[in-house]
Amino acid sequence: MKSMMKKSLVIVSVLAVAAGAAQHITDEPVIKKWTEKDNNGKNIEYMTIDGIKVHETDETKQPQPKIVTPGQPSRGDQAGSAPSDAVVLFDGTEESMYKNWTDTKGNRTKWKFVNGAMESVKKAGYIQTKEKFGSCQFHIEWASPSEVKGSGQGRGNSGVFLMGYEIQVLDSYNNKTYPDGQAGAVYGRKKPAVNASRGPGQWQTYDIIFHRPIFDEQGKVVKKGTFTVFHNGVLIHDHYQITGGTSWRGPHSVSEYKPHPDTLPIQLQDHGNPVRFRNIWIRELDD
The one-letter amino acid code at 14 reads V
Residues 167-186 that bind Mg ion (CB under 5 A): 168
Out of 159, 184, 188, 274, the only residue in the binding site for Mg ion (CB under 5 A) is 159
* Closer of 155 and 212 to Mg ion (Cβ): 155
- Measured between alpha carbons, how far is residue 69 from residues 72, 84, 265 in Å? 10, 5, 26
The least distance separating Mg ion from the CB of residue 6, rounded to whole angstroms, comes to 31
Residues 234-273 that bind Mg ion (CB under 5 A): 269
- In the bound complex, what is the minimum distance in angstroms from residue 161's beta carbon to Mg ion? 9
Q: Which residues pair with 128 in a beta bridge?
A: 102, 267
Name every residue whose Cβ is closer than 8 Å to that of residue 221 and which is 6 or more positions away in sequence: 213, 214, 215, 257
Pick the stretch among 79-87, 126-134, 165-173, 244-252 that binds Mg ion (CB under 5 A). 165-173
User: Which of 7-15, 63-71, 156-164, 246-254 is the region at the interface with Mg ion (rule: CB under 5 A)?
Assistant: 156-164
Nearer to Mg ion, 80 or 157 (CB): 157
Decide whether 92 or 125 has the Cβ nearer to Mg ion: 125
CA contacts within 13 A on the Cβ side of 107: 4
Residues 6+ apart with CB under 8 A from 40: none
CB of 170 to Mg ion, least distance (A): 7
Judge contact between 236 and 230, C-beta under 8 A.
yes
The distance of closest approach from Cβ of residue 138 to Mg ion in the complex, given in angstroms and rounded to an integer, is 16
Residues in the chain: 287
Closer residue to Mg ion (CB): 157 or 172: 157
Total chain residues near Mg ion (CB under 5 A): 4
Q: Closest CB to Mg ion among 157 and 175?
A: 157
Closest residue to Mg ion, judged by C-beta, is 159
CB of 147 to Mg ion, least distance (A): 19
Quote the least distance from Cβ 61 to Mg ion, whole Å: 48
Q: Which is nearer to Mg ion, 157 or 182 (CB)?
A: 157
Name the amino acid, one letter, at 250. Answer: G
Report the nearest approach of Mg ion to the CB of residue 205 (Å): 17
Closest Cα partner for 133 from 209, 78, 64? 209
Which residues lie closer than 8 Å to 125 by C-beta, 6 or more apart? Answer: 103, 104, 110, 270
Helix (H) or strand (E) holding 2: helix 2-5
Whichever of 80 and 245 has its CB closer to Mg ion, that residue is 245
Separation between Cα atoms, residue 225 and residue 242, nearest integer Å = 5
Binding site for Mg ion (CB under 5 A): 157, 159, 168, 269
